[in-house]
């Protein structure tokens, strides 16, 4: 092995760095003006916009569990990154459309908002878990000690993209005149900037992935999952999921039942909350159960997933206690 390979990071890291940077620009830039747009242009109440925003973020943190699972078992990292990136870009363009027509057709603008947020939620779910998981596979086993530095560099891309997005999108989208009056027609330019950023990130990945996003041996990373016997796989490789018809039916029934249970528990609250939040809770529990019903999981994989569930539950409980203390 030459000196360069021992000291320099693979170029694929910088491809992933750039792709993730533009995606974070897109996501955080849009977030910075979303509630302002809903309140000032779509004439929503602040309480409703806050609930929509909270539900949107909740689903954005939930769908990566689904997107990562679909990638590992069916589509592969590359396809999911491309699909997720394009979906988020399209979602931002639909927000641009919503911000362009609200003054002439408010109902259409609100419908476009819901469509856009739905597409962005699923696009984020496909994109977010798959690009992060590819970083470690760029390095040979004897250079795994460099992973801490590699992920530090990768997260610098996340922070840089978030900074630029929250700087530029409000700069072009949240415009005020010298008297402090907000231009409610300018939000569309912020959404357009977010969409263009996502298109740039997706293009970077598409054109450079085959050359640089490869294993140390030069093989493409993140391709379609293999469907051989589980004994043929190295640690971290994807294989086909194995679900029984009974587990799939049970998951579907569980989602419906849990949705109505949570909707009943939230009855009497804001109507926005009685739709979005039951979906979040029901879908989260259903996906968690469906994933561990996969018969292709090894004992070690199942144990690791259960540990993640336990840690996630403890963190959630801790956060809930902290919120109650703040309110009291």
Going residue by residue through the chain (328 aa), what tens digit of pLDDT does each one get?
A: 444 445 578 899 999 999 999 999 999 999 999 999 999 999 998 988 888 898 888 888 888 878 887 887 788 889 999 999 999 999 999 999 999 999 999 999 999 999 999 999 999 999 988 888 888 888 887 776 788 888 899 999 999 999 999 999 999 999 988 888 888 999 999 999 999 999 999 999 999 998 999 888 888 888 877 654 444 444 444 556 677 888 889 989 999 999 999 888 887 666 667 777 888 888 888 888 888 888 777 888 788 888 878 877 776 665 555 445 444 4
- Helix or strand or coil: residue 182? strand
- Stated as kind and residue range, the H or E segment containing 145 is none
Which phi and psi angles does 175 have, rounded to 5°?
A: -105, 135
Domains of the chain: 1-227 (1.20.1250.20)
- Angle, CA of 95, 21 and 24, to the nearest 5°: 35
How far apart, in whole angstroms, are the C-alpha atoms of residue 175 and residue 73? 45
């Amino acid at each position: 092995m030459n000196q360069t390979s021992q000291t320099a990071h693979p170029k694929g890291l910088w491809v992933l760095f750039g792709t993730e940077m533009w995606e974070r620009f897109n996501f955080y830039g849009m977030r910075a003006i979303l509630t302002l747009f809903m309140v000032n242009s779509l004439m929503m109440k602040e309480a409703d916009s806050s609930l929509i925003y909270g539900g949107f973020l909740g689903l954005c943190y939930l769908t990566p569990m689904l997107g990562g699972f679909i990638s590992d078992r069916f589509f592969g990292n590359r396809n999911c990154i491309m699909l997720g990136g394009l979906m988020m870009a399209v979602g931002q363009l639909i927000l641009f459309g919503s911000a362009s027509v609200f003054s002439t057709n408010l109902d259409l603008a609100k419908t476009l908002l819901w469509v856009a947020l739905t597409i962005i939620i699923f696009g984020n779910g496909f994109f977010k878990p798959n690009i992060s998981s590819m970083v470690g596979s760029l390095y040979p086993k004897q250079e795994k000690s460099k992973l801490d530095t590699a992920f530090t560099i990768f997260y610098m891309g996340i922070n840089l993209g978030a900074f630029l997005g929250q700087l530029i999108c409000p700069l072009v989208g949240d415009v005020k005149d010298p008297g402090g009056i907000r231009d409610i027609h300018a939000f569309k330019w912020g959404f357009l900037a977010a969409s263009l950023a996502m298109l740039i990130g997706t293009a970077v990945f598409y054109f450079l992935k085959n050359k640089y996003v490869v294993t140390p041996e030069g093989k493409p990373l993140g391709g379609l999952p293999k469907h051989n016997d589980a004994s043929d796989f190295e640690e971290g490789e994807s294989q086909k999921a194995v679900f029984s018809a009974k587990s799939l039916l049970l998951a579907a029934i569980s989602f419906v039942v849990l949705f109505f249970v949570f909707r009943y528990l939230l009855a009497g609250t804001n109507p926005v909350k009685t739709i979005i939040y039951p979906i979040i809770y029901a879908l989260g529990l259903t996906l968690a159960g469906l994933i561990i019903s996969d018969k292709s999981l090894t004992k070690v994989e199942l144990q690791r997933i259960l540990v993640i569930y336990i840690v996630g539950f403890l963190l959630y409980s801790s956060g809930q206690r902290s919120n109650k203390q703040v309110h009291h």
